[in-house]
Amino acid sequence: MKPHPALSEASLLRDWRVLCEEIGERRAGSAGERRAAEFVAGRFAALGLRRVATEEFPCTSLARARSRVQAWFSGRWHTAETQALVGAPGTPGGRAVEGETVSLEMPADLPLLTRGALRGKIAVLFGPLPTRVEQHRRLVAASPLAVVHVDERLPFAWAKSDGVYPAWVKRHGMPTTVTVPYLTAWQWRLAGVRRLRVSAAVELRAARSQNVIGELPGSLPRLPALVLTAHHDTQCGNPGADDNASGVVCLLALAGTLAAMPRRRTIRFISFGCEEQLSVGSAAYVRAHRAALRAVGLEVNFDSVASPLGHWEMWRTGPAALETWAVRRLARAGLRVRAHAEVTPFFDTFPFNQAGVPSLGFYRPNFSGGRWQHHSRHDTLAHVSPAEVARLVAAVAPLVRDLAAQRVWPFRRALPAGQRQVARQLARELFEF
């Protein structure tokens, strides 16, 4: 099969450059995010999608964040690179707090987090931030002056941008939290650092975000549709070339490729805003279209799919037969994927799963911790591969075409009971649904 013109690396790069170079950072509620939504809507229309619409919803937006961390060793204060955790409060008045450090290795040191145990102290927390609400409550109750987080998945010399679950902060509170580079924390340990100074000011404001929708109507529009999705927003401080301009570029190339193919079922394309705050855009879409979602057969999501070195993962939520079929269909088109049966709250598939819609999610990690450029200033066009996205699109397009041609949906259009239960529990813990 001759590659479709929408699939040339040059055409992928054209869209990618607009998102990452002309627009750049696209954090939720910002002018950059809005420009990205306008760009995607224009491209959807130019590619021949019908009923192109932009739907707005409220979100919180980071207006300003600054932080400073200093460590006392070798007889003076050393300033470290740092990022404030978005969603966590700043220090009082944004002024520096100073205290003795307590090193905690998580989650093994959880028993040390008793009420008031960290009062007046600065916790250096190595490992994951609390992943269960119970752990989060213990950390809050220990009352540290501040928390310095060292992410064990990212053993690098730069600090990553990150956020916390907004529902947890609202319900249980949160200490001031900043991140420092792994190698900085390594140096502190060797130097025997005992005192730190931390200041942070994080200002959030109410804002608006956008989802962009368009569709290729099927010849039998009453049949359950397919929904292809990605998100166009970024974390702060980087142009999100992989996370997730790559997914948007992939969506546009799929629209271009699939427009020319015959189909019975409607194929809907959605580019979400505000994913980085835990799929706020996807959840807004699900809330606004709950009845229509009963007639959706499958969501296929693309998030961070352009690592040059890496391997393909396909996250399946839904019946096992769907996975078996998709793995074979992709392999026939030259793409071999590691398939996982997963319900994850960290992709835009989760709100759809909550509404009972099965999903496949494509993701391309490049080391066992995920992606090394994750949420850092290194997530740029220098570190993505148009050839890999072209390969993905070339394999996913025939899969979508085959499904859109079916009169009778070949799989159960439901989540297995075990996955439904996990989805319900995650929703209760992380989202207060």
Which of 15, 33, 243, 299 is in the footprint of Zn ion by CB under 5 A? 243
Considering beta carbons, is residue 151 or 243 the nearer one to Zn ion?
243
Considering beta carbons, is residue 276 or 323 the nearer one to Zn ion?
276
242 binds Zn ion (CB under 5 A): no
Considering beta carbons, is residue 243 or 323 the nearer one to Zn ion?
243
Distance of alpha carbon 382 from alpha carbon 374, whole angstroms: 14
Considering beta carbons, is residue 30 or 244 the nearer one to Zn ion?
244
Cis, bond preceding 238 (omega within 30 deg of 0): no
- 64 beta partners: 203
Query: From residue 345, how far is each of 11, 27, 167 by CA, in Å?
Result: 32, 19, 13
177 binds Zn ion (CB under 5 A): no
Q: Where are the alpha helices (DSSP H) in 294-381?
A: 320-332, 350-354
| Closest residue by Cα to residue 225 from 150, 276, 300 | 300
As measured in angstroms, the least distance from the Cβ of 276 to Zn ion is 7
Considering beta carbons, is residue 363 or 431 the nearer one to Zn ion?
363
Helix (H, G, I), strand (E, B) or coil at 88: coil
303 binds Zn ion (CB under 5 A): yes
As measured in angstroms, the least distance from the Cβ of 430 to Zn ion is 16
Cβ burial, residue 266 (10 Å; 0-12/13-18/19+): buried
Considering beta carbons, is residue 162 or 243 the nearer one to Zn ion?
243
| Closest residue by Cα to residue 202 from 409, 336, 63 | 63
33 binds Zn ion (CB under 5 A): no
Antiparallel, parallel or unpaired: β 50-73 and 195-216: antiparallel
Stretch that binds Zn ion, among 42-50, 212-220, 295-303, 399-407 (CB under 5 A): 295-303
Stretch that binds Zn ion, among 118-126, 221-229, 236-244, 332-340 (CB under 5 A): 236-244
Considering beta carbons, is residue 15 or 243 the nearer one to Zn ion?
243
As measured in angstroms, the least distance from the Cβ of 207 to Zn ion is 19
As measured in angstroms, the least distance from the Cβ of 311 to Zn ion is 18
Stretch that binds Zn ion, among 149-157, 248-256, 290-298, 299-307 (CB under 5 A): 299-307
Stretch that binds Zn ion, among 8-16, 200-208, 303-311, 371-379 (CB under 5 A): 303-311
22 Cβ partners below 8 Å, 6+ apart? none
Specify whether the CB–CB gap between 411 and 325 falls below 8 A: yes
As measured in angstroms, the least distance from the Cβ of 413 to Zn ion is 26
Stretch that binds Zn ion, among 99-107, 172-180, 189-197, 296-304 (CB under 5 A): 296-304
Cis, bond preceding 111 (omega within 30 deg of 0): no
The one-character DSSP state at 376 is S
E strands in 168-284: 177-179, 195-216, 225-231, 267-272
Considering beta carbons, is residue 113 or 236 the nearer one to Zn ion?
236
**Residue count at the site for Zn ion (CB under 5 A)?**
3
Distance of alpha carbon 143 from alpha carbon 338, whole angstroms: 42
Specify whether the CB–CB gap between 259 and 268 falls below 8 A: no
Distance of alpha carbon 153 from alpha carbon 167, whole angstroms: 24
Considering beta carbons, is residue 126 or 362 the nearer one to Zn ion?
362
Considering beta carbons, is residue 243 or 429 the nearer one to Zn ion?
243
Query: From residue 332, how far is each of 117, 255, 318, 395, 412 by CA, in Å?
Result: 58, 21, 22, 8, 23
244 binds Zn ion (CB under 5 A): yes
Sites of contact with Zn ion (CB under 5 A): 243-244, 303
